């Protein structure tokens, strides 16, 4: 069986994730501090949890995740350090398949203004 293309180089992705988590400390979307020690919520279980004996399998919404600025679905590279950023899980889910600029625009409810430059009559 052939691995999906986005999982083809897991070692390289793990290296990028480790580098991003070591270098960045704030969420790329909301600019708040990311607690990198958070993992799962104790005692909380997902819908598909096969065993209620586990200590908790529901991911903490404030845990750190590495996301791409330009998503994989839009041609972004998951291995390019310049395209990867640290985010909260909830911010990453909000961002979905948008770029960070598009997600910030949606989050703040403001359109980015384009400046029109008019040529001087002298020219």
What is the spatial distance between Cα 76 and Cα 39, in angstroms, rounded to a whole number? 26
Q: Where are the domains of the chain?
A: 5-108
DSSP character for 106? H
pTM score > 0.85 for this model?
no
What is the spatial distance between Cα 90 and Cα 103, in angstroms, rounded to a whole number? 12
* pLDDT per residue as tens digits for the range 47-79: 888 776 788 888 899 999 999 999 998 999 999
């Amino acid at each position: 069986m052939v691995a999906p293309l986005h999982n083809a180089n897991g070692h390289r992705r793990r290296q990028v994730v480790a580098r991003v988590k070591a270098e960045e400390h704030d969420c790329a979307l909301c600019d708040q501090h990311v607690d990198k020690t958070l993992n799962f919520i104790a005692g909380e279980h997902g819908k598909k949890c096969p065993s209620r004996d586990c200590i908790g399998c529901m991911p903490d919404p404030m845990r750190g995740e590495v996301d791409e600025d330009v998503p994989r679905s839009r041609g972004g590279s998951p291995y390019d350090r310049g395209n990867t950023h640290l985010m909260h899980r909830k911010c990453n889910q909000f961002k979905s398949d948008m770029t960070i600029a598009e997600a910030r625009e949606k989050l703040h409810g403001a359109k980015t203004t384009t400046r029109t430059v008019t040529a001087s009559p002298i020219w």
